[in-house]
């Protein structure tokens, strides 16, 4: 890591240049979001939502991502400003130089990075130009001290919840530079008036059949295997229950294989990626998030509560910051399919109690976890840093 740090310092020095000294007018101050991942999960969806919000509220914003990424296509489809840069690794000097050139040409005022590779590249490029850097930490994976150097490139670290903030602070990053800002819910899309009838009809779900869903990127950390074990237990007691797995990801084929092997093909429907998530949430009687590791404050939990759908989540990461067991939903230990099955069956057997918890959770979301609240806090951090760093041509 010492050798890597030295290489990074040399790269930054090699590209450093002087500024002309003329201040850029405030309305030309561009916020650059960078993301090197190829997939499309909550992290990338949050970037899209935040850039859309910035554009709607008078900020200039730009996304930089890799040419083959899903984020590139989604940004273009949404009409958001986006540029692709081939970020092949953390020490891709060509990418670093390209990012630096882009920052100068687009008059970037502040750089907001999201993943490891782009945090190194865009962080070093921004530093060489004297620009402030914000780094988001979206997951609750342990940050080891020997790998925390990347966080010292940033002037501010935004974490998706207090649990993630604690992990970053334990890695030696000063707490004064870390702020917890969970992703906000767009309450114009997610609200109690959303109907799930069309989704149920499309998927052939009987009006009276209980429907339990897992809406997440399909990968090991989200607990799909735990969900399937719980489903097998539930159908013994409530055979009319149907289960939806909504999303795509690297584990999709493996989960589909397990559905067949476990004899659940007639009970479990895998829908793949869907854009009508508010309607999907409304079609469910219970949303589950049985994550076994690497979970911050997931976006799907407050989204479900906002439409009035009861939630059962594991105690991993930031879920307990939203779900208060027995008050706004149910919490279960990670990796425990029996506890998950019991909690789901309790909510299905006592619908009034489940709806009451969902209403309480929805009230909390609308009070504290909206996209407006999240972005007001985020832009306050931007404004603070821009005040510290006079932006120059």
pLDDT (average), residues 379-392: 79
More confident site: 312 or 148: 312
Q: What is the pLDDT of residue 363?
A: 97
Homologous superfamily of 197-368: Glycogen Phosphorylase B; (3.40.50.2000)
Could you give the residue range(s) of every CATH 3.40.50.2000 domain in the chain?
2-184+371-388, 197-368
Homologous superfamily, domain 2-184+371-388: Glycogen Phosphorylase B; (3.40.50.2000)
Query: Is residue 28 pLDDT above 90, yes or no?
Result: no
Other beta carbons within 10 angstroms of residue 350's beta carbon come to 12
Mean pLDDT over residues 22-47, rounded? Answer: 80
- pLDDT range class, residue 82, cuts 50, 70, 90: very high
pLDDT of residue 140: 66
pLDDT for position 40: 87
More confident residue, 362 or 6: 362
Sequence-distant (≥ 6) Cβ neighbours of residue 45 within 8 angstroms: 299
Q: Is the pLDDT of residue 21 over 50?
A: no
Which residue is associated with the tokens 């405030």?
A: 26
Greatest Cα pair distance, the chain, in angstroms, is 73
Pull the structure tokens for residue 339. Answer: 């506890």
Greater model confidence, 151 or 14: 151
Chain-centroid distance, C-alpha 380: 20
Per-residue pLDDT reduced to its tens digit, 9-19: 333 433 333 33
Residue 388's pLDDT band (cuts 50, 70, 90): low
Residue 6: half-sphere exposure toward Cβ, Cα within 13 Å: 3
Cα–Cα distances in angstroms (integers) from residue 30 to residues 54, 63, 99, in the given order: 10, 10, 14
Say what the pLDDT of residue 163 is. Answer: 86
Name the average pLDDT for the chain.
Answer: 89
């Amino acid at each position: 890591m010492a050798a890597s740090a030295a290489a990074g310092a040399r790269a930054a020095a090699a590209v450093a240049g002087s500024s002309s000294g003329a201040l850029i007018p405030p309305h030309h101050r561009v916020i650059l979001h960078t993301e090197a991942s190829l997939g499309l999960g909550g992290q990338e969806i949050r970037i899209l939502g935040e850039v859309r919000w910035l554009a709607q509220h008078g900020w200039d914003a730009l996304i930089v991502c890799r040419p083959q990424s899903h984020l590139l296509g989604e940004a273009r489809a949404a009409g958001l400003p986006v540029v692709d840069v081939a970020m092949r690794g953390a020490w891709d000097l060509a990418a670093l130089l390209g990012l630096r050139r882009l920052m100068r040409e687009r008059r970037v005022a502040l750089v907001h990075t999201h993943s490891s590779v782009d945090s190194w590249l865009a962080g070093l490029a921004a530093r060489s130009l004297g620009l402030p850097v914000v780094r988001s930490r979206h997951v609750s994976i342990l940050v080891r001290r020997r790998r925390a150097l990347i966080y010292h490139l940033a002037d501010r670290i935004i974490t998706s919840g207090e649990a993630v903030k604690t992990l970053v602070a334990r890695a030696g990053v000063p707490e004064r530079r870390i702020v917890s800002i969970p992703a906000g819910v767009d309450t114009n899309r997610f609200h109690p008036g959303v109907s799930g009838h069309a989704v149920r009809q499309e998927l052939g779900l009987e009006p009276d059949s209980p429907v339990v869903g897992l809406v997440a990127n399909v990968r090991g950390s989200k607990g799909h295997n735990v969900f399937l074990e719980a489903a097998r237990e539930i159908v013994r007691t409530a055979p009319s229950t149907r289960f939806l797995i909504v999303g795509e990801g690297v584990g999709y084929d493996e989960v589909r294989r397990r559905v067949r092997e476990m004899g659940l093909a007639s009970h479990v429907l895998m829908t793949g990626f869907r854009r009508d998530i508010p309607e999907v949430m409304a079609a469910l009687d219970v949303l589950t998030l049985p994550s076994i590791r690497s979970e911050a404050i997931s976006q799907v939990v407050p989204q479900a509560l906002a439409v009035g759908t009861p939630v059962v989540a594991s105690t991993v990461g930031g879920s307990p910051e939203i779900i208060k067991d027995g008050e706004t939903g149910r919490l279960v230990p990670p990796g425990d399919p029996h506890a998950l099955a019991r909690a789901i069956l309790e909510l299905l057997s006592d619908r009034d109690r489940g709806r009451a918890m969902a209403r309480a959770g929805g009230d909390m979301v609308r009070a504290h976890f909206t996209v407006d609240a999240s972005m007001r806090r985020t832009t306050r951090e931007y404004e603070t840093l821009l005040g510290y760093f006079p932006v120059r041509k």
